[in-house]
């Protein structure tokens, strides 16, 4: 039964997936004149199947890697179960591909599918993916009978190719450096899949096979570090090649999702550090295994959110027109999520904002309106103005969060004021996407509430001495 419940937290990613798809307008059924529009079921099913396929492939590659790092025969059985699920989902995603391209209902048979699979890059990548998964499934079955390590290694290589194929054929093609972008996107997807799947399997191994877990954990911890470095490097490189200008990164929905993923990765690094300090360093003490499993359950939720954002990124595609705005999600990610992480890693505060927490929060809300709705500095100073506004946003967020930790009024001012500030921005700039503003508002309120609850549990931090004279 554990095999089925592996990484069960990852399925929570379907919630942000649907919410973000709605937010970026990818579920809108309004058709452009003369263009047929996909039915809602197709608009929902295609990304949901891709998400499920990515989860199944990640757990398969995770089980195969943990098997190589010293996992038991049980892990090989998990690999077989999940590779079969991945095969089924990859085949459904091929069928839904045709429905998506021709804006139709998903159908089991279609005359248009073959030309798509034969002539389009996306179609060819889908064929490569399904073939590799099918061959890996056979090898996973054989590896249960013949436990020769080369059989499992061959299966691992095939699943890795299956994971990399769609990203390589994805948006990389739209850049002048499509080979670099393609390889980078492929490596990126492999690194994150290894990390996600490995964590899900090692978390389960901690609960069902503690003896093996004590051996496998330190080895996986090293692999996870390598995956983080490769994922960050290739993610940033792919983003730079696909997005290019700072304005597009800060101002487009695509760019705001990339920034959100970067901040989610930073939070994951924080939890990875906690894993090391609170668990790995205490092995072989068995209580450390429970710590690994409990921290992993939070990490898997963050990874699920990053995975959902990635599937939406691929649906959305890089911004077609340049932008000089601040997307609503960017305001919340850079104004709240990023400073919050900085304060968790290094609790500190500024005497000036500490003395006036409500004023610090009010100032932050004014900065959200200035940067998100008015944009005086970027109008006056161009791209340099964008950098200045970004810095002010992050600093104002840091001041507001550090000061409001112990001021209920300040936090409630933020929780109530943030959606109002984002609403004012939509009124000030009709081009701003109201759906993403709503989502950003709810995310921001959630983060501020979590911050307030955390503040009530923890003592006051060291205050940074600033002479006000
Ligand atoms: C610094 C952090 C990160 C950056 C800058 C980043 C950026 C990107 C970019 C630009 C793409 C290509 C999207 C496209 O084809 O249009 C991508 C794909 C992807 N990212 Fe990330 N990413 C980051 C972190 C993560 C994390 C933490 C995860 C998961 C835990 C993740 C999972 C994925 C996946 C699965 C894809 C491939 C989607 C597909 O083509 O099916 N990324 N990422």
Residue 175: its pLDDT value, please?
64
In terms of domains, do 279 and 412 share one?
Answer: no
Distance 188 CA to ligand 1 centre (A): 7
**DSSP H helix total and E strand total for the chain:** 20, 2
In terms of domains, do 274 and 358 share one?
Answer: no
Q: Tokens for 464?
A: 């940074």
- Beta strands (DSSP E) in 89-196 are none
Nearest CA to ligand 1 atom 22: 235
Q: Which residues contact 449 (CB under 8 A, 6 or more apart)?
A: 411, 415
Task: Please report, rounded to a whole number, the percentage of residues in the chain having pLDDT higher than 70.
Answer: 92
End-to-end CA gap in the chain:
66
Task: Look at residue 380 and tell me whether its pLDDT is greater than 80.
Answer: yes
For the Cβ of 259 lying below 6 angstroms from any atom of ligand 1, the answer is no
Residue 349: its pLDDT value, please?
85
**CA angle, 168 then 178 then 38, to 5°:** 60
The neighbour count for residue 114, using CB atoms within 10 Å, is: 11
Domain that holds residue 312: 2-316
The model's pLDDT over 53-92, given as tens digits with 9 standing for 90+, comes to 999 999 999 999 999 888 778 998 999 999 999 999 999 9
Residue 272: its pLDDT value, please?
95
In terms of domains, do 106 and 39 share one?
Answer: yes
Mean pLDDT over each residue of the chain, to the nearest integer? 90
In terms of domains, do 199 and 336 share one?
Answer: no
Nearest CA to ligand 1 atom 25: 261
Arithmetic mean of pLDDT, 405-415: 91
Task: Look at residue 469 and tell me whether its pLDDT is greater than 50.
Answer: no
Residue 466: its pLDDT value, please?
43
Tell which one of 170, 235, 255, 305 to mutate to probe ligand 1, the residue whose CB is within 8 A of the most ligand atoms.
235
Q: Which residues contact 238 (CB under 8 A, 6 or more apart)?
A: 172, 181, 184, 185, 188
Residue 70: its pLDDT value, please?
81
In terms of domains, do 309 and 391 share one?
Answer: no
Alpha-carbon dihedral 140, 141, 147, 151, rounded to 10 degrees: -40
Stretch (H or E) spanning 173? none
In terms of domains, do 299 and 266 share one?
Answer: yes
* 321 in any annotated domain: no
For the Cβ of 10 lying below 6 angstroms from any atom of ligand 1, the answer is no
The model's pLDDT over 327-375, given as tens digits with 9 standing for 90+, comes to 999 999 999 999 999 999 999 888 889 899 999 999 999 999 999 999 9
For the Cβ of 151 lying below 6 angstroms from any atom of ligand 1, the answer is no
Distance 201 CA to ligand 1 centre (A): 21
Arithmetic mean of pLDDT, 25-44: 76
Task: Look at residue 420 and tell me whether its pLDDT is greater than 60.
Answer: yes
Q: Is the dihedral of CA 304, 308, 314, 317 positive or negative?
A: negative
Residue 170: its pLDDT value, please?
78
Query: 315 pLDDT band (50/70/90 cuts)?
Result: very high
Distance 310 CA to ligand 1 centre (A): 5
- Beta strands (DSSP E) in 215-321 are none
In terms of domains, do 361 and 301 share one?
Answer: no
CB 441 within 8 A of CB 404: no
In terms of domains, do 444 and 347 share one?
Answer: yes
The CATH number linked to 42 is 1.20.1630
Q: Which has the closest alpha carbon to 106: 162, 44, 52? A: 44
Pick the last residue of a domain from 285, 316, 347.
Answer: 316
Distance 235 CA to ligand 1 centre (A): 6
Residue 174: its pLDDT value, please?
63
Residue 171: its pLDDT value, please?
67
Distance 200 CA to ligand 1 centre (A): 19
Nearest-atom number in ligand 1 for the CA of 239 is: 10
Instruction: Please tell me the pTM assigned to this model.
Output: 0.93
Distance 300 CA to ligand 1 centre (A): 15
In terms of domains, do 188 and 219 share one?
Answer: yes
Tally the C-alpha atoms within 13 A of residue 300's C-alpha that lie toward its C-beta: 26
CB 263 within 8 A of CB 333: yes
Residue 3: its pLDDT value, please?
73
Distance CA 428, CA 408 (A): 30
Q: What are the DSSP calls for 176-242, one per residue? A: TTHHHHHHHHHHHHHHHHHHHHHHHHHHHHHHH-HHHHHHHHHHHHHHHHHHHHHHHHHHHHHHHHH
Q: Which has the closest alpha carbon to 344: 444, 445, 450? A: 450
The model's pLDDT over 228-242, given as tens digits with 9 standing for 90+, comes to 999 999 999 999 988
Task: Look at residue 192 and tell me whether its pLDDT is greater than 60.
Answer: yes
In terms of domains, do 273 and 345 share one?
Answer: no
For the Cβ of 265 lying below 6 angstroms from any atom of ligand 1, the answer is yes
Nearest-atom number in ligand 1 for the CA of 171 is: 15
Arithmetic mean of pLDDT, 164-187: 82
Arithmetic mean of pLDDT, 221-227: 96
In terms of domains, do 108 and 184 share one?
Answer: yes
Pick the last residue of a domain from 316, 351, 369.
Answer: 316
Residue 79: its pLDDT value, please?
95
In terms of domains, do 350 and 240 share one?
Answer: no
CB 70 within 8 A of CB 162: no
Q: Which residues contact 400 (CB under 8 A, 6 or more apart)?
A: 353, 357, 360, 361, 363, 364, 410, 414
- Give the count of domains, the chain: 2
The model's pLDDT over 239-278, given as tens digits with 9 standing for 90+, comes to 998 887 899 999 999 999 999 999 999 999 999 999 999 9
For the Cβ of 134 lying below 6 angstroms from any atom of ligand 1, the answer is no
Query: Residue ranges of the alpha helices (H) in 356-382?
Result: 357-369, 376-381
Residue 322: its pLDDT value, please?
81
For the Cβ of 185 lying below 6 angstroms from any atom of ligand 1, the answer is yes
The model's pLDDT over 157-166, given as tens digits with 9 standing for 90+, comes to 999 999 999 9
Q: List Cα–Cα distances, 390 to 34, 123, 158, 328, 386, in angstroms.
A: 41, 40, 43, 13, 6
Pick the last residue of a domain from 316, 347, 366.
Answer: 316
463-464 and 349-350 strand pairing: parallel
The model's pLDDT over 393-408, given as tens digits with 9 standing for 90+, comes to 999 999 999 999 878 8
Nearest CA to ligand 1 atom 4: 235
Give residue for tokens 């009530």: 456
Task: Look at residue 108 and tell me whether its pLDDT is greater than 90.
Answer: no
Task: Look at residue 283 and tell me whether its pLDDT is greater than 70.
Answer: yes
The model's pLDDT over 110-153, given as tens digits with 9 standing for 90+, comes to 667 888 889 888 899 999 999 999 999 999 999 988 877 889 99
Tell which one of 169, 228, 261, 272 to mutate to probe ligand 1, the residue whose CB is within 8 A of the most ligand atoms.
261
For the Cβ of 122 lying below 6 angstroms from any atom of ligand 1, the answer is no
Arithmetic mean of pLDDT, 411-426: 96
Query: 458 pLDDT band (50/70/90 cuts)?
Result: low
Residue 467: its pLDDT value, please?
41
Task: Look at residue 29 and tell me whether its pLDDT is greater than 90.
Answer: no
For the Cβ of 238 lying below 6 angstroms from any atom of ligand 1, the answer is yes
């Amino acid at each position: 039964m554990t095999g089925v419940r592996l990484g069960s937290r990852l399925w929570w990613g379907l919630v942000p997936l649907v919410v973000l798809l709605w937010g970026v307008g990818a579920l809108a059924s309004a058709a452009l004149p003369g263009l047929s529009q996909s039915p809602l079921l197709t608009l929902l099913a295609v990304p949901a199947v891709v998400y499920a396929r990515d989860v199944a492939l990640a757990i398969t590659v995770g089980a195969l890697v943990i098997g190589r790092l010293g996992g038991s025969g049980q892990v090989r059985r998990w690999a077989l179960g999940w590779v079969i699920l991945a095969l089924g989902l990859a085949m459904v995603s091929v069928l839904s591909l045709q429905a998506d391209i021709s804006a139709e209902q998903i159908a089991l048979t279609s005359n248009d599918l073959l030309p798509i699979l034969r002539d389009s890059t996306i179609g060819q990548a889908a064929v490569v993916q399904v073939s590799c998964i099918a061959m890996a499934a056979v090898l996973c079955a054989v590896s249960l009978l013949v436990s020769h390590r080369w059989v499992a290694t061959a299966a691992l290589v095939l699943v890795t190719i299956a994971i990399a194929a769609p990203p390589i054929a994805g948006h990389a093609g739209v850049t002048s450096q499509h080979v670099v972008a393609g390889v980078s996107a492929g490596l990126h997807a492999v690194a994150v899949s290894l990390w996600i799947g490995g964590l899900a399997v090692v978390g389960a191994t901690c609960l069902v096979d503690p003896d093996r877990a004590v051996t496998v954990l330190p080895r996986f911890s090293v692999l996870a570090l390598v995956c983080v470095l490769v994922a960050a490097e290739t993610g940033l490189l792919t983003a730079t090649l696909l997005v290019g200008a700072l304005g597009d990164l800060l101002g487009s929905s695509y760019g705001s999702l990339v920034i959100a993923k970067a901040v989610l990765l930073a939070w994951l690094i924080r939890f990875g550090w906690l894993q090391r300090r609170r668990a790995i360093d205490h092995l072989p003490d068995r209580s450390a295994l429970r710590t690994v499993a409990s921290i992993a359950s939070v990490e898997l939720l963050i990874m699920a959110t990053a995975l959902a954002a990635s599937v939406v990124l691929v649906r959305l595609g890089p911004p077609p027109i340049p932008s000089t705005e601040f997307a609503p999600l960017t305001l919340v990610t850079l104004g709240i999520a990023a400073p919050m992480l900085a304060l968790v890693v290094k609790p500190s505060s500024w005497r000036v904002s500490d003395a006036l927490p409500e004023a610090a929060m009010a100032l932050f809300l004014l900065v959200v309106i200035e940067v998100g709705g008015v944009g005086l500095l970027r109008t006056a100073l161009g791209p340099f103005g964008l950098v200045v506004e970004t810095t002010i946003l992050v600093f104002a967020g840091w001041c507001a969060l550090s000061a409001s930790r112990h001021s209920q009024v300040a936090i409630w001012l933020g929780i109530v004021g943030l959606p109002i500030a984002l609403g004012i921005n939509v009124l000030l700039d009709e081009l701003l996407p109201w759906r993403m503003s709503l989502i950003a508002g709810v995310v921001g309120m959630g983060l501020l509430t979590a911050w307030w609850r955390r503040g009530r549990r923890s003592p006051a931090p060291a205050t940074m001495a600033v002479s006000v004279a």
